[in-house]
Amino acid sequence: MACGEKWLLRQVSNDDIERLHALVGVPEVFRYLTDGVPLPHWQVEQWIELGQKHAAVDGMGLWMLENPRGVLAGGVELKMGSQPGSAELTYLLQPQFWGQGLATRMSWTVMQRAFKAGHVAQIVAGADEPNAASIRVMRRLGMRFLRTVQYPLGPGVEYVYRRDDPVPMPLPAMIPVVGETAESPG
């Protein structure tokens, strides 16, 4: 796909079960995302169900990234965190779309939607230490190092972006969200 490809974010639906299951079954994707083990079908169904439930809170949810022809490139999730006013960010992409800025753009889009909705004061994302690409995405989002953590596969890091933090430069381009107008959040 050309770098000029048009992409859209849309809320996940039950129709996405098979495609999301296939995406999290790609070894390069599940290596860090699910601790080196592909998700079973029932967990993908549960993830979609929770993504739809989180969508009831403005700015939260699970979105699929696709082009107008329906090619699924990845997804991004923002869910309420363990502390009040905090949200957790997760992103995933098909390997053939890595290096095009899509993880940064879709993450920035949902982060800005959540901040505009007013339910979130900070967003946290984490990565295993060897996952340098994900750490670069967090830095491009303007996130700052928060702490080291221990994940099942070993040491990791968490980064945070607070509503009043300076915007990153260059500013990531937003991805249109299906069903929203220019006046809507995001």
Other beta carbons within 10 Å of 172: 22
Domain that holds residue 105: 8-162
Contacts of 96 (CB under 8 A, 6+ apart): 1
Residue 13 belongs to some domain of the structure: yes
Write down the pLDDT at residue 186. 41
Q: Is residue 172 part of a domain?
A: no
175 assigned to some structural domain: no
In a domain, residue 2? The reply is no
- Say if 182 falls within a structural domain: no
CATH number at 137 reads 3.40.630.30
* Residue 185 covered by a domain: no
Q: Please give the pLDDT value at position 184.
A: 47
Average pLDDT per consecutive 10 residues, the chain (186 residues; last block may be shorter):
77 96 95 91 96 86 96 96 94 97 98 94 96 97 98 94 97 93 50
Q: What pLDDT, on the 0 to 100 scale, is given for residue 3?
A: 54
CB environment 56-91: b (16+ within 10 A), e (fewer): ebebbbbbbbbeeeeebbbbbbbbbeeeeeebbbbb
CA distances from 43 to 20, 26, 48, 112 (A): 11, 15, 9, 28
Q: Is residue 20 part of a domain?
A: yes
Per the listing, tokens 């509503």 go with 163
Threshold 0.85, pTM exceeds: yes
Please report the pLDDT score of residue 2 as a whole number.
43
Structural domains of the chain, count: 1
